[in-house]
A and B are shown apart, each in its own frame.
Chain A
């Protein structure tokens, strides 16, 4: 998948930058970079409703004021669900009896903004909002077949969190956040329909 290659390239470049610079400096002046593991829980979705830790979040922000940051983000998440054997009426006299595995893959990206408090302390809380586009792929695996549909939608995600810098002057620390996300993606696979994607979850990672 092309997006996977781009994501890996971005992550690798970020790592090289982090490794190359002296510890006291930020990677870029007046910026932050977060790399997070992400766990997402789908809300109101019966296509792939199991909580999953198959997700990551990458974001960066520029301090346009001492408290406000704006920057890009990209994240991804896969949720799965097992479906026991059932008979599906496919229409026009066609029917399918099978067990399935459902997978919902989400890849939102766009702009993130934050309002940060206590930016000189060890614990630096913030409230933020992510806005952008969301690519989502809904797949049904059965027998030897993978049937899927690709969708695009608008993405909105409020978030609260805290960055923890054991030594604030180094600006290398941890990051914890709670988020909710809403995307307008809609699509059909077999007899299943997805209309809008809602999630909540947590992100835990590093910040520098």
Chain B
């Protein structure tokens, strides 16, 4: 081997250095599974909750300029899983919104991507047709009484529990006392998406043992 060849080797090594300083792992296979994130207000006594109100549809967050709701059989199956989770936790569903202790709102993110941080929790300000606080009562807005850091992308389901016993007077904000974010629900296979969603909702209750009457 002569000097010229050694220089070629040196060149190859330097070229390798140029393209391999910090290796990021392949993340493509991360999308082969779903993600479930849950968080709650540690100041809430969830055992004191008796009744809950659960709407019969899922709000869709997409690119539409009007409010969309998802109401077909798949949506009802997802709502049933939420109902089962709440009932198994010892809570009772009621049809009277005004008499319920808490409300549950389900939202499916179809075409939007947002990042949510505790300092900027009102991401729905950018989406004009999210669940309006007025749906639940005379609140002035929303409020997370705990830290929230996560990202929403297309193919996500949000399940949020709001405290309907909270004080409404004086422009108070409606507190979200438990939330669940389920991601990874946008594969090309609709059946798989539904299966993942169902498993994700069930997992959300499994990893929230404080939801217990």
Contact = CB atoms under 8 A, between A and B. Distances in A.
Partners in one complex: yes
Interface of A: 1, 3-4, 7-8, 11-12, 14-15, 18-19, 23, 35-37, 52, 54, 56, 58, 76, 78, 80, 82, 85, 87, 92-103, 105, 137, 141-145, 166, 170, 172-173, 205-206, 208
For chain B, which range describes its interface: under 10, 10 to 19, 20 to 34, or 35 or more residues? 35 or more
A98 B182 CA distance: 10
Nearest to A56: B17
A206 B16 CA distance: 13
Given A19-B7, A23-B3, A173-B6, A56 B13 contact: yes
Contacts of A92: 39, 42, 146-147
A79 B150 CA distance: 26
B187 to A, nearest CB: 14
B1 A166 contact: yes
A7 B16 CA distance: 12
Given A141-B30, A144-B151, A95 B35 contact: no
Interface of B: 1, 3-4, 6-7, 9-11, 13-14, 16-18, 20-27, 29-30, 32-33, 35-42, 146-147, 150-151, 153, 183-184, 203, 206-208, 210
A124 to B, nearest CB: 16
B32 to A, nearest CB: 8
Given A56-B13, A93-B40, A94-B38, A144 B6 contact: no
A54 B23 contact: yes
Nearest to B40: A93
Contacts of B25: 80, 82, 101-103, 141
Q: Is the interface of B mostly helix, strand, loop or mixed?
A: mixed
A19 B5 CA distance: 11
A35 B35 contact: no
B168 to A, nearest CB: 25
19 contacts: A11-B18, A12-B18, A18-B10, A35-B14, A35-B17, A37-B13, A76-B22, A85-B33, A93-B38, A93-B146, A94-B146, A96-B38, A99-B32, A144-B151, A144-B183, A166-B1, A172-B3, A205-B13, A206-B10
Contact of A15 (B4, B10, B29): B10
Given A11-B14, A143-B184, A145-B151, A56 B20 contact: yes
Q: Max chain A CB contacts within 10 Å: which of B14, B35, B147, B153?
A: B14
A173 B32 CA distance: 47
A62 B14 CA distance: 21
A98 B207 CA distance: 12
A169 B75 CA distance: 79
B23 A12 contact: no
